[in-house]
Amino acid sequence: MDSTTTAAGTLSPFAKDLHLGNSLSREKERFEPYNPPYVGMYVCGPTVYSNVHLGNVRTFLTFDVVYRYLIHLGYKVRYVRNITDVGHLTGDTDDGEDKIGKKARLENLEPMEVVQRYTNDFHDVMRVFRILPPSIEPTATGHIVEQIAMIEKIIENGFAYEANGSVYFDVRKFAESHHYGELSGRKIDELQNQTRALDGQDEKRDPLDFALWKKADASHLMHWPSPWSEGFPGWHLECSVMSTKYLGRTFDIHGGGMDLKFPHHECEIAQNMGAHGPEQPVRYWLHGNMLTVNGRKMSKSEGNGFTPEELITGNHKLLEKGYSPMTVRFFMLQGHYAGTLDFSNPALQAAEKGLERLMGAWGLLADLKPCESGEAAPDLAALRARAYAAMNDDFNTPVLIAVLYDAVKVVNSVAAGRMVLNAEGIDTLRALFSDFAADILGLEQEVAGGAGDGDRTDGLMEVICTLRSEAKANKDWATADLIRDRLTELGVQIKDGKDGTSWTFD
RNA sequence: GGUCUGGUGGCCGAGUGGCUAGGCUCAGCUCUGCAAAAGCUGCUACAGCGGUUCGAAUCCGCUCCAGACCUCCA
């Protein structure tokens, strides 16, 4: 699925009803792109100094669904998600050292080796969870020149100053003519007392000021020449630079995790306005909420984060068993992105069972036989309208999933011969699953082992089921049950239906 | 201390001024050789206290509780 395959330039009639929860206004607003049918979307990507955990995955999944839905509606979306490969100060030591650089020294690796390793890991994880790659995935180190240019502009406009080779954003000065703190609801005077002593604090005119450029000391492995010093860019700057470069000074959607709202996103706005003028750079700010574990935020520092590998294998002290990536994807989509979601074994198991039922019905859909004489079928068009209504209501995936379960009941009833549908009805159901379950939610059947050998497996199973049916016909229950029990042990479920026996893999 | 979010049935999790969320679990029923699957039914829900209203879980106020952010974090 990509934007070029959508109907040429035609927007779905449902597109006009899309509403987004805008963090900036704190209200649900109707989505009106700046320049339809084009949509620009920027999402803060990972800092590649360690493996991503599930909390990170949740955010990228959230915006994956946003991306998929916008494309489905017919928008031409340019989705930019950056890779932060330089620029974040370390928090625990307060020495202002670059995270990537620090990690590199510890492991005796080149900084870019670290970056590459964890970028690869990140991409692997995205693939496992079926999260689509963005249109552009720019890196901070690839945009040093642009970052320097933006700093120069901000200085030129009087909102930044140089001190001892470093450059700081002048928050007080900016706040005289702009609303600093609008996004996060923070008031500048209250922030004043809260900042604690960071490196270079003495160079700042005000504790609130944040770094645009930092002079590198001898311990730094990553540094670049600039008009001010040999150094590195501040950690808010890259997103301002790259969003502007690829999406323009005004663009539609900016996404990221809730924890980036302040200071990161607030600083981004200040930088954009400081460089380009007073217009809001972003029309709709979307913030995904945190994934919690036993009520606590999952984070690197808490040590309560699962890596995807631990999750799949179940090899973690908080996990009772392993869960497939699709189960986790489905689990996350059963909650709304703007609310916290608690990760627990019972919840995962519920999602696993629920997904199985959904997928089971979806599988049956392929073989459903139409019946033209069918009596009044359920109103399947209404089902589709409800699906759109759910997504249009700020991407309400849990409600969409509830709609899909209504479809599951119809499918199962038809498959069991309790209900009949004409061809049109079946097509409507198929389109519903194909559009909403597959394209928009990104759910797909997980193939069990032995992939690529499907025909032979089918043939073998057919033989086995035939033998068992004969045993049943002869009332040879012992043989029939033996076959079933042995298959169950092997992870093959036997289901006796009215029209014969079907089977599924675990 | 400041800013903000949330407290929904056994569990997870939507939603809303009056109309079934949904999933999972559990119990019963239908179907079935049995089981599984599937379908149906049920499992007394909206933190507490006030207020507004014909009517509030949904709006307002207060209280309690939890979490996030204020410092790197999706």
B23 C1' closest Cα residue: A354
A116 touches strand B (CB under 7 A): no
Q: Tell me the pLDDT of chain A averaged across its residues.
A: 85
pLDDT at residue A429 in the model: 94
In terms of Cα–Cα distance, which of A277, A275, A254 is closest to A78?
A254
Give the pLDDT band of residue A107 (cuts 50, 70, 90): low
d(CA A280, CA A173): 18
Residue A277, helix vs strand vs coil: coil
Asked if the model's pLDDT at residue A148 lies above 70, the reply is yes
Q: Does residue A263 have a cis peptide bond before it, meaning omega lies within 30 degrees of 0?
A: yes
Place of tokens 């700042």: A204
Q: Which nucleotide lies nearest residue A418, CA to C1'?
A: B39
- What residues are paired with A387 via a beta bridge? none
Number of H helices, E strands in chain A: 16, 15
pLDDT at residue A372 in the model: 77
- List pLDDT tens digits, range A255-288: 999 889 888 999 999 999 999 999 999 999 999 9
**Phi, psi of A44, rounded to the nearest 5 degrees:** -70, 120
Could you give the domains of chain A?
A: 3-26+33-288 (3.40.50.620), 293-440 (1.10.730), 454-505 (no CATH)
pLDDT at residue A439 in the model: 97
CA angle, residues A31, A438, A370, in degrees to nearest 5? 115
CA angle, residues A275, A213, A192, in degrees to nearest 5? 80
A309-338: average pLDDT: 90
A300 touches strand B (CB under 7 A): yes
- Percent of chain A at pLDDT > 90 equals 50
- Strand B footprint nucleotides (protein C-beta < 7 Å): 1-6, 11-15, 21-25, 31-40, 66-74
d(CA A39, CA A460): 50
Other Cβ atoms within 10 Å of A235 Cβ, number: 23
Q: How many angstroms is C1' of B2 away from CA of A193?
A: 9
Residues lying close to strand B (Cβ under 7 A), chosen from 324-353 of chain A, are 334-336, 339-342, 344, 346-347, 349-351, 353
Residue A228, helix vs strand vs coil: coil
A286 touches strand B (CB under 7 A): no
State both tokens at A218.
């001898």
Task: Give A401 or A461, the one with higher predicted confidence.
Answer: A401
Residues lying close to strand B (Cβ under 7 A), chosen from 69-108 of chain A, are 84, 88-91, 99
- List pLDDT tens digits, range A462-475: 777 877 877 777 78
Q: How far is residue A386 from each of residues A332, A404, A413, measured CA to CA in Å?
A: 21, 10, 20
Q: Which nucleotide lies nearest residue A208, CA to C1'?
A: B70
Other Cβ atoms within 10 Å of A465 Cβ, number: 18
Exposed (0-12), middle (13-18) or buried (19+): which is A281, by Cβ within 10 Å? buried
Supply the ipTM of this predicted assembly. 0.92
Please report which helix (H) or strand (E) contains residue A27, including its range. Answer: strand A27-30
